[in-house]
Amino acid sequence: MNTFIVPACAVLARGCAALLLALVAAAGCGSSHPPTVRVSGRITYEGKPLEAGEVAFQPTLAPDGALLRPAVGPIGPDGTYVLSTFAHGDGIVPGEYAVVVTSYLGDPLVEELDPSPPPRPSRIPLKYASPATSGLQATIPANARGRLTFDFDLE
């Protein structure tokens, strides 16, 4: 009878340890980042939707003690984007941002396969690729609720 009790206790102890580890891991996975506001929009170039690329909101000023972290979003074929900061589509931390947009011709996969690929030409003026020269700005209010929309028409 003792031989049955010892293995049963060992199995129970392992199960308790696994449960404890799972609870600790779940507690560590809580939302420790600041709240975000969902932001989406549309990027056009010369009045037409920009068909591909990426938009990034680079922080310039955040509210008291907020984490300064950029938000990015891929640009879809219709020119639309949805920003992500910590998880896909979660939005952006309130604050002030310089906005940059990049869009290149060609296949990025070729660049990954070629150790020294030729530079890909940009679909839009390169001034939009830098926060210092893009001229694009966005302010996300700390009290914003719901979804905000920021559309940008590049020239």
What would the pLDDT profile of 79-119 be if each residue is shown by its tens digit? 999 999 999 999 999 999 999 999 998 766 555 666 676 77
Which 8-state DSSP code applies to residue 43?
A: E
- Domain match, 77 and 135 both: yes
- Domain match, 134 and 58 both: yes
* Domains held by the chain: number: 2
Tens-digit pLDDT profile for residues 42-87: 999 999 999 999 999 999 976 666 667 899 999 999 999 999 999 9
- Domain match, 117 and 146 both: yes
- Domain match, 42 and 22 both: no
Q: How confident is the model at residue 151, as a pLDDT?
A: 98
CB atoms within 10 A of CB 154: 19
- Domain match, 14 and 89 both: no
CATH at residue 59: 2.60.40.10
Provide the whole-model pTM: 0.73
- Domain match, 77 and 25 both: no
| 135: containing domain | 38-154
What number is the average pLDDT over the span 140-150?
A: 92
